Structure 1
Amino acid sequence: MVNIKTLYVISHLVMIDLDIDMRQYDCPFIDTTDDVDIAFSAVQWQLDTDDETLETRLIAKGETAGALETGLRELREHPNMTECYILSKRDAVAQIGTTIEETNAMRTIDRNGGYITGPFRIEDGRERWHVGFDDDGDEDRTLAELERHNDFTVEDRDQLGPTALFDLLENSDSAMRLLEGCRSLTETERTTFEAASRAGYYETPRETTLEELADHFDISKTAVSMNLRRSERKVLKAALTALENIDDGGAH
């Protein structure tokens, strides 16, 4: 039998997850994307609170190969950058390793019991953060302090209970496979797929036609159809693979 104490503990096993659009005023990555057409996506990160530094592995993508070179040069020269080195590079994309001084926002979140729950992305002078808290008090205190030295907007807020958290962790591989399938779309396939969906092509009855989509993109109806079929095939294959993994996980 589950006692009252156990029920209390289970009911308080929640995570508050915030999706924050952030502009820090002491972040080397944000300052660099302000000046250069380059974007950074985190692959791995490690905050060292004793040394007050953040070590990261990132993917840097420039608008051109020249933009990548300029962006990496500015990043190395930033006063808050301790170390920046290239792990691999091809055309306008590079994998880099960095160590930066702890920013005000990172210090504030860590000091108030917050933690990073997902990879961050920096582009056009803004940064997308995923931050978790264990209770409302930590969240409120952190956001109040962040307002003093940073510009940010909370874009989304979820409160996940133990069942949702377990399900999320248990099916992380399925989610990653679906994400990889979406990322496999070319730019043309993605924009065509998105435009068709927004215009109601997949509604019943359809709210737009191939002819209208062809006019929108100024290409032939055959080309639109081919782009849609390729994108549908990739997304469907990824979704089916994810579903198989979910079924496999539930069978154990």
Structure 2
Amino acid sequence: MYRAMIDLDLDMRQYDCPFIDTTDDVDVAFSAVQWQLDTDAEKLETRLIAKGESAAALDQGLHELRTHPNMRDCYILTKRDNVAQIGTTIEQTNAMRAIQENDGYITGPFRIEDGRERWHVGFDDDDAEDRTLAELERHNDYEVEDRDQFGPTTLFDLLENSDSALRLLEGCRSLTETEQETFEVASKNGYYETPRETTLDELADHFDISKTAVSMNLRRSERKILKAALGAIEGMDDHDEL
């Protein structure tokens, strides 16, 4: 029997999570690097990157985290300015229990900021998904931001080409804020359509800068993205040859 894995992208607010409570009160964000759920001991061990709006905000956030009633252990691995790598052990939350008991599983890293958490959760069938979402709704606040279904072939392709995907992601992240905004506005306004739906002059007016400055910002962003895309393609070609 053919089955496709269901992958949900959830915007979640748990009411018993130390990380969410901390980001409610302090300008700090957490991104998971590694996690391990011990269902027998009802605890979650994590390695996270904590980033504060400032060094003072980071210190305050770590203090709030350590003193939270659902936090068992919180320690600093490395720290520099407003960024730290930390290790934590927290009590199993209601949402974790609901997902685990209904045969769900975490499929990707989670990020916590401004009192909300982005989760990636997988299920093997619709019934498991429905049971979990019904239980989550009773004790948490969430929205399904995206839902995909992957067959074995697609999953295999994603795993085999993860290095290429990472190269492309790193290339996109290398854009400065100005380069990213210029590229996005140009694309959304049809600059790359044939025929073009906007011009450099119109983009210059939009950003209130010179036509030359817009052109340079676009060229820099295009160069970075193209380099990343070519690197990703080369990685795919190398894998195909193997």
Which stretch of the first structure deviates more once superposed, 136-145 or 64-73? 64-73
Matched, 1:241 2:235: no
Segments of structure 2 that go 5 or more residues without pairing to the other structure are none
Residue number among 102, 107, 118 corresponding to 1:117 in the alignment: 107
What code does the residue aligned with 1:175 have? A
Structural mapping, 1:97-246, within 5 Å? 97-246=87-236
Q: Which runs of 4+ in 1 moved over 3 A?
A: none
Q: Which residue of structure 2 lines up, in the alignment, with residue 77 of structure 1?
A: 67
Closer, same or farther: CA 39–214 of 1 in aligned 2, 3 Å:
farther
Give the fraction of aligned pairs with identical amino acids, expressed as a percent.
81
Matched, 1:55 2:57: no
Segments of structure 1 that go 5 or more residues without pairing to the other structure are 1-7
Closer, same or farther: CA 89–230 of 1 in aligned 2, 3 Å:
farther
| Deviation digits for residues 80-112 of structure 1 (CA, Å, limit 9, x no counterpart) | 111112222222222211111111000100111
What code does the residue aligned with 1:79 have? P
How far apart, CA to CA, are the structure 2 residues paired with 1:238 and 1:192? 18
How far apart, CA to CA, are the structure 1 residues paired with 2:43 and 2:49? 19
| Deviation digits for residues 169-192 of structure 1 (CA, Å, limit 9, x no counterpart) | 111111111111112222222222
Q: Which residue of structure 2 lines up, in the alignment, with residue 5 of structure 1?
A: none
What code does the residue aligned with 2:89 have? T
Aligned residues: CA RMSD: 1.4
TM-score (norm 1): 0.91
How far apart, CA to CA, are the structure 1 residues paired with 2:209 and 2:60? 35
What code does the residue aligned with 2:164 have? S
How far apart, CA to CA, are the structure 2 residues paired with 1:43 and 1:62? 17
Structure 1 residue 227 displacement after superposition: 2.0
